[in-house]
Amino acid sequence: MDLGLKDKVALVAASSKGLGKATALSLAGEGCRVTMCARGTDVLAEAAEEVRQATGAKVLEVVCDVTDGAAITAAFEKTEQELGNVDVLVVNAGGPKAGAFDDLTDDDWMEAYQLTHLSAVRMIRRALPHMRAAKWGRIVAIESSSVKQPVMNLHLSNGIRAGLVGYFKSISDELAKDNITINTVLPGLYLTDRILDNQKAIAERTGEALADRLEMIKNNIPMGRFGEPRELADMISFLASERGSYVTGAVIQVDGGTTRGNF
Ligand code: NAP
């Protein structure tokens, strides 16, 4: 299947590692020119070079903290100057910190809102003028299976991401007439730095061996294995493509069957 992504411009937020990086690689492999963003300069430069080498695509790296509105604006401006207007926006960020009710302060909630929710609003607002003028646009947000099935001890993610999906669904109505789609993907368990760090912290707290913990988690996934970041990334490329033209306002888990629910 030709996804029809050749020569589109994609901006993938939070993409020096993990799911964002795999998404940049997948879109570049489909012929997009890609902007990759993150806060840490060196890891980002290495990741961008890796994507260039693997795909031969034009890849721009921009240091950008998505909690900073001015940095988001600057990332779009740099992309427009170097690659062209953004046709495909992948909303992503580092996840909010772990914690249950008693662990979390007002400041934690405000920070998580800024990182997870407000960053998405700002990126989408900046992407829309070109997409509306072009009558073509694709927005895909990487959230979490916590939207459909709350995860223990992740109250910030559980609380904020479900609300964000309500926002995406609301604007999907307004964007559809201009041929702009917006969809959400929900990763289950992929062994990226974020998941490993979370699990190491839990293992240290409980005294379990990390390997035993990971084995127990893996055995609870119906497919019996963690996801490969490429498996989420390829779903995103489909949703971002010409072939995904009639899918909008959807919330799609990519989790090896982990989410236990009908919808
Ligand atoms: P990861 O491997 O830790 O990568 C996170 C990426 O985000 C890095 O490139 C990091 O680079 C960047 N980043 C973090 N904070 C940022 C900020 N404020 N501004 C810009 N970039 C930032 O994490 P991941 O597993 O790919 O997770 C991506 C998202 O998916 C997170 O929201 C996570 O909660 C969610 N998720 C992941 C899983 C999973 O199984 N992995 C499951 C459910 C949900 P810098 O630190 O250099 O900025």
Non-local CB neighbours of 252 within 8 Å, separated by 6+ positions: 183, 184, 185, 186, 235, 239
Q: How confident is the model at residue 202 (pLDDT cuts 50, 70, 90)?
A: confident
- 147 within ligand 1 shell (Cβ under 6 A): no
Ligand 1 center to 242 CA (angstroms): 27
- DSSP calls for 94-129: PPPPPB-GGG--HHHHHHHIIIIIIHHHHHHHHHHH
Mean pLDDT is lowest, of 49-53, 195-199, 245-249, 251-255, for 195-199
Topology annotation, domain 9-188+229-254: Rossmann fold (3.40.50)
Would the pLDDT of 205 be above 90? no
Q: Which amino acid is at 221?
A: I
| Range 78-103 average pLDDT | 96
Asked whether the whole model's pTM tops 0.95, one would answer: yes
| Range 50-69 average pLDDT | 98
Q: How confident is the model at residue 263 (pLDDT cuts 50, 70, 90)?
A: confident
**Which DSSP letter does residue 244 get?**
G
- 43 within ligand 1 shell (Cβ under 6 A): yes
State residue 14's pLDDT score: 98
Q: How confident is the model at residue 90 (pLDDT cuts 50, 70, 90)?
A: very high
Non-local CB neighbours of 40 within 8 Å, separated by 6+ positions: 16, 63
Would the pLDDT of 21 be above 90? yes
Encoding tokens for residue 70? Answer: 């001015």
For the chain, the first-to-last Cα distance in angstroms comes to 28
Among the atoms of ligand 1, which is closest to the Cα of residue 157? 34
Q: Which amino acid is at 1?
A: M
Q: How confident is the model at residue 106 (pLDDT cuts 50, 70, 90)?
A: very high
- 23 within ligand 1 shell (Cβ under 6 A): no
Phi, psi dihedral angles at 242 (to 5 degrees): -65, -35
- 94 within ligand 1 shell (Cβ under 6 A): yes
State residue 259's pLDDT score: 96
Using a pLDDT cut of 70, give the percent of the chain over it: 100
State residue 179's pLDDT score: 98
Q: CB of 37 within 8 A of CB of 29?
A: no
Mutate to test the pocket of ligand 1, among 192, 197, 221 (most ligand atoms within 8 A of CB): 192
- 236 within ligand 1 shell (Cβ under 6 A): no
Q: What are the residue ranges of CATH 3.40.50.720 in the chain? A: 9-188+229-254
Mean pLDDT is lowest, of 59-63, 195-199, 217-221, 250-254, for 195-199
Ligand 1 center to 156 CA (angstroms): 15
Q: How confident is the model at residue 198 (pLDDT cuts 50, 70, 90)?
A: confident
**β-strand 33-38 against 9-12: which pairing, if any?**
parallel
Q: CB of 57 within 8 A of CB of 9?
A: no
| Range 99-118 average pLDDT | 97
- The CA-based angle 216-191-121, given to 5 degrees, is 120
The kind and range of the H/E element at 59 are strand 59-63
Q: What is the pLDDT of residues 136-173, one digit of tens each?
A: 999 999 999 999 999 988 999 999 999 999 999 999 99
For the chain, what is the mean pLDDT? Answer: 97
31 burial class (0-12, 13-18, 19+ CB within 10 angstroms)?
middle
Ligand 1 center to 95 CA (angstroms): 6
Nearest CA to ligand 1 atom 5: 94
| Range 86-102 average pLDDT | 96
State residue 201's pLDDT score: 85
Phi, psi dihedral angles at 11 (to 5 degrees): -115, 120
State residue 208's pLDDT score: 92
